[in-house]
Amino acid sequence: MKRDLLSVTDLTRNEIEAVFSLTKDLKERFKAGEQTPRLQGKTLAMIFEKPSLRTRISFETGMYQLGGHAIRLAPNEIRLGVGESMADIARNLGRVVDMIVARTFKHSTLVEFARHAAVPVINGLSDLLHPCQILTDLYTLVEKQRDLEDLKIAFVGDGNNVANSWIKAAKRFPFKFTLACPPGYEPDREILLETTAEVGDRVLVTHDVEEAVSGADVVYTDVWTSMGAEEEAEERRRAFASYQVNSRLLKLASPQALVMHCLPAHRGEEITDEVIDGPQSVVFDQAENRLHLQKGLMVWLAERSGRGSEN
């Protein structure tokens, strides 16, 4: 039975930890110069409705390092929803490739792909969720010797797809997550209500940025204007002006707090140079770990779908 990853909660905690274990092993072997052809002869189709740097390069490089092959399908080549139905595209791809990663505007596109494709479908980013990023972030925190059982995570900025995925992740690990955002920029209401019904006040939304960051073990931020909302950029700059992660704000967090950002960063807007380049930043460790986490994820999904190698 094939498995998909559209949301962090598509995996149990034990399964996430199994992916982390695979990730650690693959990363250590990579650093030691060992080859790991766990997906030799396998093919990954990469569908990108949005431009991509980290998602494309990490999946494509990861598939190569695993002995497989990645094929990028640009919007003008696949023409999602124009002419041929998405269901038929998914059925066709599922007959030819071994795995699909899609970076789409609408989350519903991914849901439909997963419903009709006979191979694992991975959410490379949608307007609603970004699970690969949050799995990478969680792995990075574990790698930095942070205990996910007892962390206070402050997310400063927009209640976007990354924030939504952090909220969902609170169902799998008992950290405390507080989102500080301006009024009108809260996370998805359904995701928030569904999660707080299960985890209670471990997930909070506030408009008070200092309250959110006070004593935090992790200070996380993202761009104020996500891809697809460029026409709102100036309005958002005004709304988010007091939500910048800078050295003054960081002093409110724990002295050992880590700074995280999923990139790309708009330096001087949501985060300042001295913070993103400072000693508490693990931003570029996160970026590198996208490669290793996604390798672990692809191997895990492929082997549970009968398409991987035990080598």
Q: In whole angstroms, what is the distance from residue 48 CA to residue 98 CA?
A: 17
Q: In whole angstroms, what is the distance from residue 81 CA to residue 183 CA?
A: 35
Of 202, 244, 262, 286, catalytic? 262
Q: Judge whether 290 counts as a catalytic residue.
A: yes
Is residue 286 within 8 Å of residue 14, measured between CB atoms? no
Of 54, 172, 261, 290, catalytic? 290
Is residue 176 within 8 Å of residue 153, measured between CB atoms? yes
Rg (CA), the chain: 19
Q: Judge whether 133 counts as a catalytic residue.
A: yes
B/e letters for 45-83, b = 16+ CB within 10 Å, e = fewer, are: bbbbbbebebbbebbbebbebbbbbbeebeeeebebeee
Q: In whole angstroms, what is the distance from residue 141 CA to residue 274 CA?
A: 21
Q: In whole angstroms, what is the distance from residue 171 CA to residue 127 CA?
A: 20
Alpha carbons within 13 A on the beta-carbon side of 224: 24
Of 130, 172, 236, 307, catalytic? 130
Of 116, 202, 222, 286, catalytic? 222
Q: Judge whether 244 counts as a catalytic residue.
A: no
Q: In whole angstroms, what is the distance from residue 176 CA to residue 199 CA?
A: 9
Of 38, 54, 103, 292, catalytic? 103
Of 65, 132, 133, 158, catalytic? 133
Per DSSP, the residues of 68-122 read -EEEEE-HHHH-TTSSS-HHHHHHHHHHH-SEEEEE-S-HHHHHHHHHH-SS-EE
Q: Judge whether 222 counts as a catalytic residue.
A: yes
Q: In whole angstroms, what is the distance from residue 268 CA to residue 309 CA?
A: 46
Alpha carbons within 13 A on the beta-carbon side of 195: 29
Query: Catalytic residue positions?
Result: 103, 130, 133, 222, 262, 290
